[in-house]
Amino acid sequence: MDTPREAARRELHAPFRPRLARVVALIFGLVVAVATPVLVLTIPGEYGLPDLLGFALVGGAIVWFCWRQATVRVLVDETGVSVRNLLLSRRLEWAEIVSVRFGQGRPWVQLDLADGDTLAVMGIQRADGAFAAAAASRLATLVALHTRTTENN
């Protein structure tokens, strides 16, 4: 059984995932996954095999895109952060992250990195409202916790 401290630490290190975008992507992907074969097998007219394969490929691409959107996330552990965005994934050590920004007008959290670059974090999205604000705050807390040095203790 976990101590209260261990349980709080586990909760603090829980994965970050969007809510609204994930639900929409899963539902839309499921609809396209079901509708594409139905369309290909029952479409009337004089469509040849290349046309039907084209329909199937487009449907497959849409399903892949929806799956990818539904699996956007941020995983955190004691050594760093793994960010999985729509197209790219990246692993960062805690020391590489300078700050967490989620200001007005940003569709998702942005990390400022030590090398001067920035990284979008699609796992925390503005569309999720207060849930997203709390998640951004939790991520900022994790960055502060894991980048603490003897100078800022």
Q: What is the domain partition of the chain in residue ranges?
A: 20-70, 72-146
* pLDDT (tens digit per residue) in 28-50: 999 999 999 999 999 888 888 89
> What pLDDT sits at residue 35?
96
Which among 131, 106, 134, 132 has a CA at the least distance from the CA of 120? 106
* pLDDT (tens digit per residue) in 49-100: 899 999 999 999 999 999 999 999 999 998 999 999 999 999 999 999 999 9
- The whole model's pTM is what? 0.83
Each residue of 4-43: b (16+ CB within 10 Å) or e? eeeeeeeeeeeebbbeebbeebeebbeebeeebeeebeee
> What pLDDT sits at residue 1?
67
Sheet holding 80-84, edge to edge: 73-76, 80-84, 89-93
Average pLDDT over residues 9-26: 92
